[in-house]
Structure 1
Amino acid sequence: MTARLAVLGAGSWGTTFAQVLADGGADVTLWARREEVAREIREQHRNSAFLGERELPAEITATADAREALDAADGVVVAIPAQSLRATLATFPALPAVPVLSLTKGIERGTDARISEILADAGSADPALVGVLSGPNLSAEIAARQPCGSVVAGTTEEIAGTFASWCAAPYLRAYTSTDVVGVEIAGAVKNVIAIAVGAASGLGHGHNTTASLITRGLAEITRLGVALGGRRETFSGLAGMGDLVATCASPLSRNHRLGLALGRGLDVEAAAAEVGQTAEGVATARAVADLAERLGVDMPITRAVVAVVDHGARIDQVTTALLSRSVRPE
């Protein structure tokens, strides 16, 4: 039986993942915030604001009515930016009692809540049915149907398997996990590290510097994830190292591009305007730093990013300071 799936969020990643689901055999209804975007997807099979002239599969329709999108859905996929998710869910009906997969990578500022927690709290989703996806997920490459792997995590193997069954497109290999916390933290914090790595590149530093920041960034992510109950091995896989490398190294990454702009001397507002789309790492950095402080987890790269994006510190000073810390065992 063909699955009927609702995708909430018609930005670049939500629309791209709708393509993945449709290419895997599902009928997909995209919820778009603006009716003109929904109409273009319905009538022209395009989302030109985010994917240019790329033609979308005929199995994708769209609506600006969340109730219509959710009606009779067998599953829900959420691709709404982290910092607007709670407010957006407040305008929706309660999410149905079906599996709900989060594509959103971030931590809510002010509450330090993970996305799965917001979906249960503000969206009334059953926590047992909420899962997350992470991995090297550069949407432009996936939209071009280039092969990649991702991790889908659910509270049980059965739920994780359901999510994996949605990802049946021939170019996306889904691996399953029951480490929801670990996969979620990996996906969120890598955006913060990518800003630092992009900034180092923008300052003119070479591969030694960026490799050092990526490696030590992974150590930070792992420490926080384990402290929150994630499994250490998750962070050496696609959701951890895989996603971190892609996000830190690719010019397609919004957070990397934002860091580059900071390294070239732009302030945060100007850098964000240059990127033009949501770079979750900016808002996530403070939430991650708060979590780390509460748990007693050392995250110097994250603190450095917070110093820049929240407190106006000079990026050249904090980048140099990161690699000039006192001698200690690795």
Structure 2
Amino acid sequence: MASVAVLGAGSWGTALSIVLADNQHDVRLWTHRKEQADEINTNNKNERYLKDATIPSSITAYTDLTEAVKDVTAVVLVVPTKAIREVCQQLKEALSNKVTLIHATKGIDPDSLKRVSEMIDEELPDKLYEDVVVLSGPSHAEEVGLRQPTTVTVSSATMSEAEKAQDLFINEHFRVYTNPDVIGVELGGALKNIIALGAGISDGLGYGDNAKSALITRGLAEIARLGSSMGAKPLTFAGLTGVGDLIVTCTSPHSRNYRAGHMLGKGQPLEEVLEHMGMVVEGVRTTNAAYQLSKQQQVEMPITAGIEEILFNHAHPKDVVDQLMTRGRRHEMEDLSNIL
């Protein structure tokens, strides 16, 4: 049995805590909100983020980060991308021993254009962990919290660290594979949120399955183009953290990014959408980051560029679709060569 601190008590952090508790680990779930910690500890519920799940009594919620990480053997970071640096700075002061360090956050920082593992490496000293492990894959928290079958991937440049994470999480409901391609695993998990926004926009506009299928397929080509240019292994995008995560996020109302896109397609402005969602929609910040990266890497990403126009330049979604449909002729296999 391990002692694990999960930092971030949103839907995904809570769901992962349930998996760990099912595996008989000592689980400390950290939140900065006292009322949320009290609800978890007293009622075994987290109504705002995971209302249908009952939280095992073996999970203890903390608001004091130092207490939450005291003597733990593993730390799981599940906070929004924009909070990664701040939480790592707090963690640097709170941790007193070396841990297995896992993050399950899907995003890219639009200011530094860094992946989450790169931000962690910049903020935390080497003495506190061997190597960052990334946990990603097609995994709605709502289903994980109810112990419905789910399969994910863990990735690290140090395979022994990935295997430690695999051992922590794997059980009969939650199957975990390993993959050494950290860049591909992180980019697949982050970039699919952009395409999920697009899928929601398409449905919000009233377009059918043909349009959404094309969007997902061409979106995968964009993800693979950018990922390959940044050093990812192309085949990673044909796996769980690529096409697997893309399918689940683009086709389900569980997906915040899909729901946000759907409202945008219905004509609601971004500010109203984000206020209505009440939770972080990672795809919005990631769209801006990926758009900048596409320019930096000189990689063509027309869907991402179109969604950037909708989100940040007030373009009408239908106008963007019309522009995408009237682009110059292309040969499909030129793009598919990135993932074959």
TM-score band by shorter chain is over 0.9
Q: Select between 40-49 and 15-24 the one with higher mean Cα deviation.
A: 40-49
Counterpart of 1:266?
268
1:83 touches 1:109 (CA, 8 Å); kept in 2?
no
Measured after TM superposition, the shift of residue 127 of structure 1 is 7.3
Q: Taking every aligned residue pair, what percent have the same amino acid on both sides? A: 40
Equivalent-residue separation in structure 1 for 2:262 and 2:101 (angstroms): 34
SS in 1 for 2:121: helix
Structure 2 counterpart of 1:191: 193
* Structure 1 residue aligned with 2:69: 70
Paired residue type of 2:105: T
| Residue 88 of structure 1: how far off its partner (Å) | 3.1
Distance (whole Å) between structure 2 residues aligned to residue 13 and residue 320 of structure 1: 36
Correspondence for 1:281 = 283
Letter in 2 for 1:102: H
Quote the residue 2:135 is aligned against: 133
What aligned pairs does 1:102-251 form with structure 2 within 5 A after superposition? 102-124=103-125, 128-251=130-253
Amino acid at match of 1:81: P
Q: Measure, in 1, the Cα distance between the counterparts of 2:291 and 2:189.
A: 15
Cα distance in 2 for partners of 1:253, 1:277 equals 11
Give the conservation status (yes or no) of the 8 Å contact 1:120–1:127: no
Residue 91 of structure 1 aligns to a residue whose secondary structure is helix
Q: Give distance in 2, aligned partners of 1:241 and 1:141.
A: 19
Partner of 2:309: 307
Quote the Cα distance in structure 1 between the aligned partners of 2:129 and 2:30: 22
> Which residue is equivalent to 2:336?
none
Q: CA deviation at 1:53?
A: 5.5
Cα shift readout 1:108-135 (whole Å, capped 9, x = no counterpart): 1211111001111123366742011111
2:98 aligns to what?
97
- The RMSD of aligned alpha carbons is 1.4
Q: Which letter maps to 1:46?
A: K
Asked if structure 2 preserves the Cα contact closer than 8 Å seen for 1:227 and 1:295, the reply is yes
Q: Aligned ranges for residues 290-329 of structure 1 at < 5 Å? A: 290-329=292-331
Q: Larger deviation: 43-52 or 298-307?
A: 43-52
Deviation at 1:277, TM superposition (A): 1.4
Q: Distance in 2 between matches of 1:14 and 1:72?
A: 20
8 Å contact kept, 1:190–1:247: yes
CA contact (8 A) 1:67 1:93 kept: no
The 1:4–1:127 alpha-carbon spacing in structure 2 relative to 1, beyond 3 Å, is closer
Tell me if structure 1 keeps the 8 A contact 2:41–2:60.
Answer: yes
* Distance (whole Å) between structure 2 residues aligned to residue 157 and residue 111 of structure 1: 27
The 1-side partners of 2:75 and 2:31 are apart by 14
**In the alignment, is residue 20 of structure 1 matched against residue 25 of structure 2?**
no
**How far apart, CA to CA, are the structure 1 residues paired with 2:106 and 2:53?**
24
Counterpart of 2:30 in structure 1 is 31
Cα deviation, 1:129-178, whole Å, max 9, x if unaligned, reads 20111111111111111101111111122111111111123211101011
Q: Which amino acid aligns with 1:83?
A: K
Count the aligned residue pairs.
329
Which deviates more, 236-245 or 93-102?
93-102
Q: What letter matches 2:278 in structure 1?
A: G
TM-score (norm 2): 0.93
Greater mean deviation of Cα atoms: 161-170 or 204-213: 161-170
Distance 1:30 1:127 in 2: 20
Q: Which sits farther off after the overlay, 259-268 or 161-170? A: 161-170
Secondary structure at the aligned position of 1:87 is classed as: helix
> What's 2:335 paired with?
none
Q: What's the offset of the Cα at 1:71?
A: 1.1
* Structure 1 position 85, deviation (Å): 1.9
**Partner Cα distance (1:86, 1:36) in 2:** 24
The residue matched to 2:191 in structure 1 has which SS? helix
The CA distance in 1 between the partners of 2:111 and 2:242, in whole Å, is 25
Distance apart, 1:310 and its partner CA: 1.1
The residue type equivalent to 1:279 in the other structure is V
The 3-state SS of whatever aligns with 2:29 is strand
Unaligned runs of 5+ in 1: none
5+ residue gaps, structure 2, are 333-340
The 1:103–1:262 alpha-carbon spacing in structure 2 relative to 1, beyond 3 Å, is same
Q: SS of the counterpart of 2:261?
A: helix
Cα shift at 1:91: 3.4
Which stretch of the first structure deviates more once superposed, 19-28 or 45-54? Answer: 45-54
